[in-house]
Structure 1
Amino acid sequence: MQNNVAAKIMEQLAAWGIKKVFGFIGDDVFYLFDALARQTDIKFYQVRHEETAAFMASAHAKLTGRLGVCLADGGPGTLHLLNGLADAYADRVPVLAITGQVARKDIGTNVKQYIDQQSLLRPIASYTTLLCDPAATMQVLEKAYRCAVTDRTVAHISVPMDVLPMPCDGNIIPVPPYLDTHPASSPGVIDGAVEIMEKAKRPIILVGDGGRQAGTLLAELSARWGAAVINTLPGTGTVDRSLPLYIGGLGHAGSPAAAKLLSEADVCLLVGANWWPPKYVPSDIKIIQMAVNPPDIGATTPVSYGLVGETEAVIQQVLNKIKTHPNQEWIKRMQQENQNWLKQLKTETNTQGSPVHPAAVIGAIQDEVADDAIVCLDTGDHTVWFGRAFRPTRQRVLISGKWRSMGFGLPAALAAQIDSPGQMVIALVGDGGFTMNMSDFLTAVKYSLPIKIMVMNNSSLSMEKNKMLAGGLVPEGTALLNPDFAKFSECCGGLGFKVEHSNELKGVIQEALNSNRPAIVDIKVSDLAVPGTTMP
């Protein structure tokens, strides 16, 4: 192995357990890619656009909790990373971006493709620096790694093209074992939360993705406390739909019953979630927030009490201490409200016709996907319909949460399939979001990643269209001219399917999911507005 800066970067990443990186080549990073080719510990996945690489790194971090790494050229290559890095930064997941830069003598000049990358990335990277001397290589790498992993954020290093081939004798830095150590609330603090919980008459639990590992314990707590369980979109599948008091999602992309019951509750236990939409939540409810990191407590909304620690351990301590008898009147109220909603939902998901009702698509996907499937959502009306209609078992959902970028679904599916080769992975996308980066369907074909893309095709940006119509505006700029997505898939080397009537849904989705090749299902859907759609 060569003993230069580029090689040391790869050697250090491998020592930290990095097994894969995503990126796109360019002049400034030739030596970095040469170093990639000369080692065997890290696999490189080439994409067709740098934004895809950044989204893949973010999705990898969301799915696994581990550091995602993306590589890009300087100038336009770095700029193309921004949207995916902003997604990681907004959703607080660890991502390291390494980019090339012009030669040191050209920094600050008018040379082509030069830009001050640190000024460019500072709003969306907690750490960004220019590595301008080989002697600082290991120290800079370690600082970036520590920042990304401990703060769960984006770190960035730009390396001038003339620095990468320079000799570097730095020593490899092992993973500090204490970086995964988290603070934990004392027994006395746990007692304070239990005291509030025991006084609750109408309790409810809101769980996010941070509560996923504690699903079984949450089910027990729900039964013993007499509390409904609702979830954020990323928290979908944390508890099974068979749970007696599972109500569904929260917000516009959720169950109307969830918002109604939450408005009547007197105590809410917020578990591994940081989403609290003011329009759908009460202002006078007592909130007990449970989080791994102390700064997350009260970061989204003021809370009455906080518990810090690993979710499973904290909930187990609560279960060991809590002594309460469920309020049977509240349980009956929750069950009745949920039954009313499920009756309405059944009507929506069973709607027949052409174009297909969006809820019918979600219902068919729910019926056919594996219990442990990974569902990658893009951003649009289809996202809201999914949150409203999908009743999970143990599925995992990946989403661009706070950044809410279109174009996330396909890259997330690519990363999820790489991370979970034995699991079913689907991307539920709108026609608008998918066409933003559909060239990277070729990446699925190139690496034989059998992802399934479900395109909800209504030839419009229906979320924007319906919001504008709700506000009495003319929806200019929302109509789309789309290709034949099934034929596009076939041109790329994948399988293509079409659905034009609801009676075709089950058979076509089954056929697509049972195949072992990348596939696109082009579903002609109605642009029907989700109930409750308003102008922002």
Structure 2
Amino acid sequence: MQVADYILARLRDWGIHRIYGYPGDGINAFLGALDRADGDPELIQPRHEEMGAFMATAHAKFTGEIGCCMATSGGGTVHLLNGLYDAKLDHQPVVAIVGQQKRISLGSAYQQEIDPNTLYKDVSSDFLQTCMHPAQARHLVDRACKVALSNRTVATIIVPDDVGEEDAVPSPPREHGAVYSSIGWTRSRVLPDEAELRKAADVLNAGQKVAMVVGQGAQTAADEVMEVADLLGAGVAKTSLGRVEPSDDLPYVTGPIGLLGSTATEDMISNCDTLFFVGTSFPYAEWLPQEGQARGVEIDIDGRYIGIRYPMEAHLVGDAGDTLRELRPLLERKTDRSWRERIESRVDEWHRVLDDRAHDAADPLNPELVVHELSQRLPAGAIVTTDAGSVANWWARHLVLRRGMKASLAGNLATMGPGTPYAIAARFAFPDRPVIAVIGDGVFQMNGMAEMITIKRYWDRFQSAPLVFCVFNNQDLNQVTWEQRAMAGDPKYPGSQWIPDVPYAEYARLLGLRGIRCDSPEEIGRAWDEALGSTVPCVLEVVVDPEIPPVPPHIMSEQAKKAATAMAKGDPEAAGLMRKGVKQKAHEFTESVKTHLPGGSDR
């Protein structure tokens, strides 16, 4: 047994049965060891190391287990970085194994010799070690896994090629300096101080208009969130990383918050007197109550992040579920339910606005209608991914995710690229569950098209349940186009924003996948039925209108001024933008009138 064989066996003992990686001579020892491992752990070969790191991150997000990726020395090690930063910023446990030149050559400016210790000192700051002796392998693997799980971060082991080829030392020699580590880790029960719990209860009991904002840290505490929300008569808004729980079909769940948010969330946040953060570090102050408007309580398992987004009175450092269970007996049920009734009315109004917007005329197809129609057809247990771009707006707003579903995106890094590899990793982890990726044409051209070849590579593994990649073809890097207008006051610059038209459905068929193209609002429902009913992986190409604006729930005055300036400067799409944007906001006004004036729908 070589050191490489031993490391793989140790990773397997830690529950790692799948490694996303790309070959290279800097990890030759591992390639031979993977062959000898007979598929456990199994090497999954993406088309690019960056995609492998995204897949490892997605595995961690969707399973709660350690994700693992591998790359060769030099360029392969560099390529992992973007996907590993996705794991670091979204607090996911990922172990990276990277190659290095042989020890004898280090320091000689040898071919492919880079300094991964310097390169990775930020992305893997909690654990970054080089295996310089076979006896180190045992405790380096053990510590990497323990650190990744405990700190929910990236841990990296660098293995020089010659070390990987040496004979393994399963048990170090019994001498001074030897280390004897063990496999095993349990999640700790983290609870805040009792006095702080009572302080939090006092604040929450005193509030008459409580708004809850939940994130990724609350996704395993949905029952507790719902129970506390019921006691407090609160509404619940969700961050993008907290997209799934509580489910969207609950009448008091106001949906997304922020630029991608809903009018129901905006109304709740603007009028609350108490803000309750649970498992989130949502960063955008302009979408939170004004300072002094609301009293604050926050739960976060990491004390480094608590109380840094809004001035909080009670700082509960603890696990979301455990802390809510301790807090619950201290809370008093609100007898006045008028605040909850207002929230539910706004949620109902918001859903009608979405329906109105989705059915607005567009040229040729309204992107909101595409996701609106998907939402009505989401299979039970579906896993839905998305990517950076305007598609994230429709994914956040229109999808009604039910209990038992999963969804994610690159939250804090907000990088282009993960939507497709996330979906592929989800299928490997859950071979019998429907998986749908909602992605833009820019990111699909950047790296998604190549990963269709990965599906061809593992063809027999991808036909057990629907696997759909819905590509929004608008020939525009659409989100950045809108940001140019609203943030910089500049018109659309075709030199940077236009992208070539590619026949994505034809490309899919070329590879042997199902390819469907739709550019008609009358046909989009049938197209989704065909895609979700496909027995082979499917690319659904939807030709959508780039002029449908991702209008936020509240247009900031500065953004409105800059957008008007962009139009005045001669934006090539100015006429359509103004007409369609005004119509979108008009739906909000119309539904509000129906609901809140005498004779309206709630009377």
1:422 aligns with: 432
Structure 1 residue 16, shift from structure 2 partner: 0.8
Name the structure 1 match of 2:421. Answer: 411
The separation in 1 between residues aligned to 2:160 and 2:515, in whole angstroms, is 44
Of 442, 446, 449 in structure 1, the residue corresponding to residue 462 of structure 2 is 449
55-64 or 256-265, larger mean C-alpha shift: 256-265
Partner residue of 2:490? 472
In 1, the alpha carbon distance for the partners of 2:4 and 2:137 equals 10
- Aligned partner of 2:55 in structure 1 is 56
Q: Which runs of 5+ in 1 are unaligned?
A: none
Displacement of 1:168: 1.9
Query: Is the 1:236–1:397 Cα contact (8 Å) retained in structure 2?
Result: yes
Q: Quick one: which amino acid aligns to residue 157 of structure 2?
A: I
* Number of aligned residue pairs: 533
Q: Which of 294-303 and 521-530 deviates more?
A: 294-303
CA distance in structure 2 between the aligned counterparts of 1:267 and 1:146, rounded to whole angstroms: 38
**1:165 alignment counterpart:** 165
In 2, Cα distance between the equivalents of 1:224 and 1:303?
Answer: 21
Q: CA deviation at 1:399?
A: 0.7
Q: Secondary structure at the match of 1:205?
A: strand
Q: Which amino acid aligns with 1:531?
A: V
What's the counterpart of residue 182 of structure 1? Answer: 189
- The CA distance in 1 between the partners of 2:268 and 2:391, in whole Å, is 25
Q: Which is worse superposed, 136-145 or 413-422? A: 136-145
- Residues 1:399 and 1:116: Cα distance change in structure 2 (over 3 Å): same
Match for residue 501 of structure 1? Answer: 520
Secondary structure of 1:333 counterpart:
helix
Q: Which residue of 2 aligns with 1:398?
A: 408
Q: 2:504 and 2:492 mapped to 1: Cα distance?
A: 28
Paired with 1:380 and 1:353, the residues of 2 have a C-alpha distance of: 19
Distance (whole Å) between structure 2 residues aligned to residue 389 and residue 62 of structure 1: 22
- Between the aligned partners of 1:63 and 1:268, the Cα distance in structure 2 is 29
Instruction: Write the letter of the residue equivalent to 2:323.
Output: V
Partner in structure 2 of residue 146 of structure 1: 146
Cα distance, 1:268 vs. partner?
1.7
Structure 1 residue aligned with 2:99: 100
**Distance in 1 between residues matched to 2:508 and 2:97, nearest whole Å:** 32
2:366: which partner in 1?
357
**Do the aligned residues in 1 keep the contact of 2:14 with 2:184 (CA within 8 Å)?**
no
1:175 and 1:266, CA in 2 relative to 1: closer, same or farther beyond 3 A? farther
SS of the equivalent of 1:307 reads strand
For 2:99 and 2:316, the matched residues in 1 are separated by 42
Judged with a 3 Å threshold, the aligned counterparts in structure 2 of structure 1 residues 173 and 365 are, in CA distance, closer, same or farther, namely farther
Matches of 1:371 and 1:233, distance apart in 2: 20
Q: Name the residue aligned to 2:340.
A: 331
Q: Distance in 2 between matches of 1:302 and 1:353?
A: 43
Structure-1 residue corresponding to 2:175: none
Q: Note the residue ranges of structure 2 that are not aligned, 5 or more in a row.
A: 172-179, 564-603
Once structures 1 and 2 are overlaid, which stretch shifts more, 125-134 or 330-339?
Answer: 330-339
Secondary structure of the residue that 2:32 maps to in structure 1?
Answer: helix
Are the equivalent residues in 1 in contact too, given 2:390–2:550 (CA < 8 A)? yes
How far does residue 314 in structure 1 lie from its aligned partner after superposition?
2.5
1:65-94 superposed Cα distances (whole Å, 9 cap, x missing partner)? 211110111111111101101111111111
Q: What are the equivalent positions in structure 2 for 1:57-136 lying under 5 Å apart? A: 57-126=56-125, 127-136=127-136
Letter in 1 for 2:153: T
1:187 deviates by: 4.2
Divergent runs of 4+, >6 A: none
Structure 1 residues 360 and 38: CA distance shift in structure 2, 3 A: same
Greater shift, 72-81 or 241-250, is seen at: 241-250
Return the offset for 1:188.
4.0
Aligned partner of residue 162 in structure 1, secondary structure: helix
Alignment CA distance shift 1:8-1:310 (3 Å): same
Say whether the 8 Å CA contact 1:26–1:72 is kept in structure 2.
yes
TM-score (norm: length of structure 1): 0.95
* SS of residue paired to 1:204: strand
251-260 or 137-146, larger mean C-alpha shift: 137-146
TM-score normalised to structure 2 length: 0.85
